[in-house]
Structure 1
Amino acid sequence: ETLLNLIEAEKNDQQVVGKVEDDGYVTTESFFASGSLLAHTIYKPVSTTIGKPLLIAHGFLGSRILWDSVARAITKATNRVVITFDTRHHGDSPCLPELAYELMVDDVLNLTHHLKIKKFSVLGHSTGGNTLMAFALKHSEMIEKMVVVDVSPFGLKPIIQPYVEAAKKITSILENSSSSSFLETKEMVDTALEKFNLEPAMKAYMLANLVNMDGKLVWYGKPSLDVIIRNYDKLVEFPKELLDYKFGGPTLFIKGENSGFISKSSFATTQNIFTNAQLSVVPNAGHFPHAQNFEGFMLTLLPFISA
């Protein structure tokens, strides 16, 4: 009832847009002009809802829109409510100054309180996976099932470090290119990013956030370059105080076949914390298996969340 009411609600500084889709479900987008509540989209079947809601958290430098196709496919296949959200300082969510996992866990908790959901499943990719692993360890009674995509509590530094180094390089170029034109500066950035071996999709995202403003190249994305650089140490380390906790709920780790971010040794250690965890591999995919092999990803995901 609460989720349906959101479609009609418009209170305080909340902006709500509801749309009935042709294939039998409703999407509801919620944005907040102030405060700390996360922007989110709800995908709800028009027919009877089956099962607990599923919350999806995107990865570093991402946004909830990147999970739109997955959310629609899950809702259509399982008749369950799916909620995607933008983490702090990403997408349409508030630009809160700190990017610490402990704070992002509280953000998710606040969102579930707002939506009045007490039991749900979660799916998180990259840093979103770390946030939801931390959430499951702190609030295990709220989690039905968990899916973690291409990350472990011990493998985030190699994922994030190249992008932080790239952010530092972009900052340096922008600060020292006052006499260069927009096109000259963009060419310098493009050439510089080649050295960091970034995922093609992420490199394209970083370049897309560089825009022409009065003939000069400026970063217009979220998070801002200074936030990326300043919060590096907090993002590459899983909260150490949680490593003594246990989560025994059904947990599926999904890795891309060509990704090295979940090793056999790190997964064995991960199973000491997530004691009911299994690992599946999506073929012909790297760090973004949901985008690089959508069909293979869904074939791996759906049986687990539907069981």
Structure 2
Amino acid sequence: MRSVSRGLQPIYAPLLHPKHSTRIALSCTSPQPAWTRSFHATASYRALDLSYSLHDNQGKAKGAPILILHGLFGSKKNNRSVSNAFARTLSRPVYAIDLRNHGDSSHDKDHTYTALAEDVEAFLHKHNLKDATLIGHSMGAKTVMTMALRDPSCCADIIAVDNAPVDAALASDFPRYVEGMRKAEEAMPMSQKDADAIMEPYAKDLPVRQFLLTNLVREPGKPLRFRVPVKILADALDDMADFPFKNPDEARFCKRALFIRGTKSHYVSDETLPIIGRFFPRFELADVEAGHWVISENPEAFIKTVVDFLQETE
């Protein structure tokens, strides 16, 4: 793990790679101009009630809340162990959330970052959660970035894991995963083993396949099916590559932000650092030895990176 650029000055957008020799001045101390966000950034959706698990170290965690949001095809169960670790180490309650169309949360044909953000904003309001830290991986990372730029007062800080505030095509793996899930569903498998065999040509890596197959559910006497709406998520892949804010001069989050990237992943390239710095002038960067699935591939380094960031004093 390599941490970069601690203690950044809040009035600058940092360019954190050695090849960059300049800083872009961005004021966060003067009032921001009024802006008209794009329709995509502000479109109103029907907020869904989200399923969640609370990890509070048997009631001992009493600090400011932490919300952790999974990535595409994930669920709150993926973050169980790290949520427990944060609750114990930081003495802060952790809400692991199922985003819409995932886990035990409701399904809806609208699956954009604005819709995802509005769901989580409604969750914060419903549970009266103040001064929260928002942590998100991949799809969850773009969701917390969207929330922070829509309403900086919604949280105390954010931690974005292996994604950047840019329009960028998803890895070609994701359309293949969706195709494999469709084939598996059409085959109506009666066992996990049968579903795994169908998925193998579309997801060669066993850990990835096992991750995708955690979405299978069974009703007595019926074939296995995916609890996620595969067609809705397939149709949403272009939206998941998008980012609703285009102009960092019109929306900015001037509180602390940590961007964690996998050293073997391409989602947060050095070329994205200047735009990250313009949207999030106080951002810090940390590299973790992992691919895109940072949390599951290297949970120890991920936990340490998050704890170090959250334990820093202003």
TM-score range, shorter chain: 0.7 to 0.9
Separation of aligned partners in 2, 1:142 and 1:183: 41
Percent identity between the aligned chains? 24
Q: Distance in 2 between matches of 1:48 and 1:213?
A: 37
State the secondary structure of the residue aligned to 1:95. coil
Task: Report the residue type matching 1:225 in the other structure.
Answer: V
1:281 to 280, 283, 287: 287
Letter in 2 for 1:109: E
SS in 2 for 1:193: coil
Question: Number of matched residues?
Answer: 264
Looking at structure 1, the residues matched to 181 and 52 of structure 2 have their Cα atoms a distance apart, in angstroms, of: 30
Which residue, out of 290, 306, 310, partners 1:305?
310
Aligned partner of 2:244: which letter? P
2:132 maps to: 120
Aligned residue in 2 for 1:290:
295
1:201 equivalent to 2:201? Answer no
Preserved CA contact (<8 Å) 1:155 1:266: no
> In the alignment, which residue of structure 2 is the partner of 1:19?
none
More helix by share: 1
Aligned residue number for residue 233 of structure 2: 228
User: Equivalences for 1:250-269 in 2 at 5 Å?
Assistant: 250-269=256-275
> Contact 2:99–2:105 (CA<8 Å) still a contact in 1?
yes
- Which residue does 2:242 correspond to in 1? 237
Distance 1:300 1:188 in 2: 37
Counting only pairs closer than 5 Å after superposition, residues 6-21 of structure 1 correspond to structure 2 as: none
2 CA distance for matches of 1:140 and 1:84? Answer: 21
Cα deviation for residue 268 of structure 1 reads 2.1
Q: 1:250 to 1:206 in 2, by over 3 A?
A: same
Does residue 166 in structure 1 map to residue 177 in structure 2?
Answer: yes
Q: Tell whether the 8 Å contact from 2:73 to 2:215 is kept in structure 1 after alignment.
A: no
Picking from 84, 88, 100, the partner of 1:88 is 100
Q: Normalising by structure 2, what TM-score?
A: 0.74
Distance 1:184 1:274, change over 3 A: closer
CA distance 1:123–1:156, shift in 2 (3 Å): farther
**Structure 1 residues 44 and 172, CA gap change in structure 2 (3 angstroms):** closer
| Matched residue type, 1:203 | R
Query: What secondary structure, in the 3-state scheme, does the structure 2 residue paired with 1:271 have?
Result: helix
Secondary structure at 1:286 match in 2: coil
1:173 Cα offset (Å):
6.8
Bigger drift between 181-190 and 119-128 goes to 181-190
Q: Please say if 1:73 is aligned against 2:79.
A: no
Structure 1 contact 145–305 (Cα < 8 Å) conserved: no
Cα distance, 1:265 vs structure 2:
0.7
Residues 251-298 of structure 1: CA deviation (Å, up to 9, x unaligned): 111112221211111122211111111110112x11122221121111
1:72, distance to aligned residue in structure 2 (A): 0.7
One-letter amino acid of the counterpart of residue 271, structure 2: S
State whether residues 130 and 152 of structure 1, in contact with CA within 8 Å, keep that contact through their aligned partners in structure 2.
yes
Gaps of 5+ in 1: 1-34
Contact 1:61 1:222 in 2 (8 A): no
Alignment of 1:103-182 (within 5 A): 103-154=115-166, 157-159=169-171, 161-171=172-182, 175=186
- 2:239 is paired with a residue whose SS is helix
Matched-pair contact (CA < 8 Å) for 1:155–1:262: no
1:63 matched to 2:75? The reply is yes
- Greater relative contact order (Cα 8 A, min sep 6): structure 1 or 2? 2
1:251, 1:277 within 8 Å by CA — same for their partners in 2?
A: yes
Distance verdict in 2 for CA 1:241–1:158, change over 3 Å: closer
Is 1:99 matched with 2:86?
no
Give the Cα separation in 2 of the matches to 1:109 and 1:246.
18
Supply the distance in 2 between the matched residues of 1:112 and 1:90 (Cα, whole angstroms): 18
**SS of corresponding position for 1:89:** coil
The alpha-carbon distance between structure 1 residues 187 and 205, as it changes in their structure 2 partners (threshold 3 A), is closer
Where structure 2 has 5 or more consecutive residues not aligned to the other structure, the ranges are: 1-46
1:172-220, Cα deviation, whole Å (9 max, x unpaired): 5755x69x997997476234215xx6x64332233454578899965x2
For the residue of structure 1 that corresponds to 2:71, the secondary structure is coil
Pairwise CA RMSD: 2.9
Give the aligned residue type for 1:136: A
